[in-house]
Amino acid sequence: MTVSGHVVITGGASGIGEATAVALLDEGVAVTVLDADRDAVMRMEDRFEGEDIAAFTCDVTDEDEVAERLAEAAGAFGPLTGLVNCAGIARDMPAEKTPVETFRQILDVNLTGSFIMCQAALEQMDDRLSIVNIASVSGLRANAGRVAYGASKAGVVMMSQVLANEWGGHGVRVNVIAPGPIDSPMVRTLHTADDRKVWTSRTPMRRYGNVGEVANAILFLLSEEASYINGHVLAVDGGFLSAGITTE
Ligand code: NAD
């Protein structure tokens, strides 16, 4: 796959984002990681010292901080050729017990944070920019317990498609990955043993995906080989979205 230039990854200090950073470094791409978790950012800095990667602590909901960090990143590694919005938070709880404050916070990070990043990336882009936003199968199917998370991810899908429409004529492609259950730090905290049984049994491939499998799809959408793909939602879900009745 032909990926080049400088890619910014939010939530890049853990899980899917971290796997994407590693895969891009292997391709010789310069990477900037933005993540709210200071300790995880410091671990990234230690792990990749001397490589073409910069890691910054940054909250994607803070537009001033985002603008500052992206300007700094473009100064160090050149204008952006790619942006991957992986930063996200999730809570599982019944709708009637979901505090409004929690609902707001999940929308703020997952949806508004991605929008802030897309706008800021446009300011720092090269003549071409590929944006990959990470939604979820829960933004396309109504999974119980996920009223805020599902709404935020459905919003990510439509926001991305509107941006793909508005910016497609300006050298910007905007696509979406909808992961199914992926074995990451987020899911290890979120899913109980019973949840794992339910998700595994509802997934035709009968297993969780791994973070590298999502990173591979992200790299494809960033790459030159995907040069005419815009506004697309690519499920990386072991068949979860396409399944009807599943067999034992
Ligand atoms: P993860 O928890 O391992 O990584 C998420 C990262 O986002 C963390 O490092 C966290 O510090 C960072 N983050 C959270 N809030 C932030 C903020 N305000 N600003 C900057 N960084 C922030 O989780 P993951 O599983 O790798 O998830 C990556 C993305 O994939 C998320 O958007 C998640 O919703 C989505 N997703 C994951 C799965 C799954 O099964 N793991 C399924 C569907 C979608």
H-helix segments, the chain = 15-26, 38-47, 63-77, 100-107, 113-123, 147-167, 185-190, 193-202, 211-222
The SS3 assignment for 132 reads: strand
With a 6 Å cutoff on the Cβ, whether 59 touches ligand 1 is: yes
Bridge partners for 175 per DSSP: 132
Q: How far is the CA of 149 from the centre of ligand 1 (A)?
A: 12
Q: How far is the CA of 248 from the centre of ligand 1 (A)?
A: 31
Q: Which two tokens stand for residue 118?
A: 């897309």
H-helix segments, 124-192 = 147-167, 185-190
Q: Could you give the C-alpha distances from 93 to 97, 147, 149, 150, 152, in angstroms and in order?
A: 7, 8, 10, 12, 15
Q: How far is the CA of 212 from the centre of ligand 1 (A)?
A: 14
How confident is the chain (248 residues) per 10-residue block, as mean pLDDT?
96 98 97 98 95 97 98 97 98 97 98 99 97 98 97 98 98 98 96 96 97 98 98 98 85
Candidates 3.40.50.10470, 3.40.50.720, 3.30.1120.130, 3.30.9.10; correct CATH number of 6-239? Answer: 3.40.50.720
From the centroid of its chain, how far is CA 71?
A: 21
Q: Determine the pLDDT at residue 246.
A: 76
With a 6 Å cutoff on the Cβ, whether 238 touches ligand 1 is: no
With a 6 Å cutoff on the Cβ, whether 9 touches ligand 1 is: no
| Residue of the CA atom closest to atom 24 of ligand 1 | 15
Q: Where are the domains of the chain?
A: 6-239
Whether the ipTM is more than 0.90: the answer is yes
With a 6 Å cutoff on the Cβ, whether 36 touches ligand 1 is: yes
Contact indicator for 85, 8 with CB cutoff of 8 Å: no
With a 6 Å cutoff on the Cβ, whether 18 touches ligand 1 is: no
Q: Is 149 a catalytic residue?
A: yes
| Residue of the CA atom closest to atom 11 of ligand 1 | 37
Q: How far is the CA of 88 from the centre of ligand 1 (A)?
A: 4
The DSSP 8-state label assigned to residue 226 in this structure reads: G
Ligand 1, closest atom to CA 87?
7
- The predicted-structure confidence for 135-175, as pLDDT tens digits, reads as follows 999 999 999 999 999 999 999 999 999 999 999 999 999 99
With a 6 Å cutoff on the Cβ, whether 11 touches ligand 1 is: yes
The SS3 assignment for 129 reads: strand
pTM of the model: 0.98
